Chains A and B, each alone.
Chain A
Amino acid sequence: DIQMTQSPSTLSASVGDRVTITCRASQSISSWLAWYQQKPGKAPKLLIYKASSLESGVPPRFSGSGSGTEFTLTISSLQPDDFATYYCQHYNSLPWTFGQGTKVEIK
């Protein structure tokens, strides 16, 4: 199975900060990577698919990059609504697996 490792596990930031979350795959997954945002008690929301494509309706302050084994999710200017937990997920080969999550907290 392909393991997905996110860093950091927790991130403290302020409104307006530029935030970067990293996701590493244990083997190459080409660009078959998605990013999700999840708020407490809610279902995840797709932000980015195929590593860098912005899902419809997602603000352009979110961006994704990378290929192969290393990927990043960047929030260019953190907004109050962005405090949440973020997960990466690969869909290169079965089983699809998620990273352990990165919680973005208010500093």
Chain B
Amino acid sequence: EVHLVESGGGLVKPGGSLRLSCAASGFTFSDYSMTWVRQSPGQGLEWVSSIGSSGGYIYYADSVKGRFTISRDNAKSSLYLQMNSLRAEDTAVYYCARTRSGGDCYSHWGQGTLVTVSS
């Protein structure tokens, strides 16, 4: 069974940094591209960043470009999101998700980790 478990969320001051992790199990991690999606409190879903199965491609939403860095360690079956220069509008639950084979929709999701940016 596929499992995705996020960690690393918490309270951080504006301008601060945080690193999210996503531990994957139950599938061959190196075969799949992975994605971070976030959801602000009471709001809808926003795609944040995606990375190819071998890290060969990386994409970011304009709202986080230059501030966030996605990476992965296939040997550890782990996905990461380094978040710098955090803003209040980055406050959200961050989900890692596995891309479905054949297209950029998301067949498996973690439970999410809450990031709160506040002074």
Is B26 part of the binding interface, using a Cβ–Cβ cutoff of 8 Å? Answer: no
**For chain A, which range describes its interface: under 10, 10 to 19, 20 to 34, or 35 or more residues?**
20 to 34
Q: Which residue of B lies closest to A31 (CB)?
A: B103
Give the CA-CA distance A101 to B46 in the complex, in Å.
12
Taking a contact as CB atoms under 8 Å apart, the answer to whether A101 and B44 are in contact is: yes
With a cutoff of 8 Å between Cβ atoms, the chain A residues found around residue B109 in the complex are 43-45
- Tell whether A43 pairs with B44 under 8 Å between CB atoms, given A91-B103, A94-B59, A95-B62: no
With a cutoff of 8 Å between Cβ atoms, the chain A residues found around residue B89 in the complex are none
Task: Give 1 or 0 for each of B74-106: 1 = CB within 8 Å of chain A CB.
Answer: 000000000000000000000100001011111
Most B CB atoms within 10 A — which of A42, A94, A95? A95
Is B11 part of the binding interface, using a Cβ–Cβ cutoff of 8 Å? Answer: no
Binding site for A on B (CB under 8 A): 37, 44-47, 50, 59, 61-62, 95, 100, 102-107, 109-112
With a cutoff of 8 Å between Cβ atoms, the chain B residues found around residue A45 in the complex are 109
Give the CA-CA distance A7 to B102 in the complex, in Å.
28
With a cutoff of 8 Å between Cβ atoms, the chain B residues found around residue A62 in the complex are none
Binding site for B on A (CB under 8 A): 32, 34, 36, 38, 42-46, 49-50, 55, 87, 89, 91, 94-101
Give the CA-CA distance A96 to B45 in the complex, in Å.
11
**What distance in Å separates the Cβ of A21 from its nearest Cβ neighbour in chain B?**
14
With a cutoff of 8 Å between Cβ atoms, the chain B residues found around residue A49 in the complex are 100, 103, 105, 107
Taking a contact as CB atoms under 8 Å apart, the answer to whether A50 and B103 are in contact is: yes
Which residue of the partner chain, among B46, B100, B102, B106, contacts A44 with CB atoms under 8 Å? Answer: B106
A-B contacts, 10 of them at CB < 8 A, read A34-B106, A44-B95, A46-B105, A49-B100, A55-B107, A95-B47, A96-B50, A98-B47, A99-B44, A100-B44
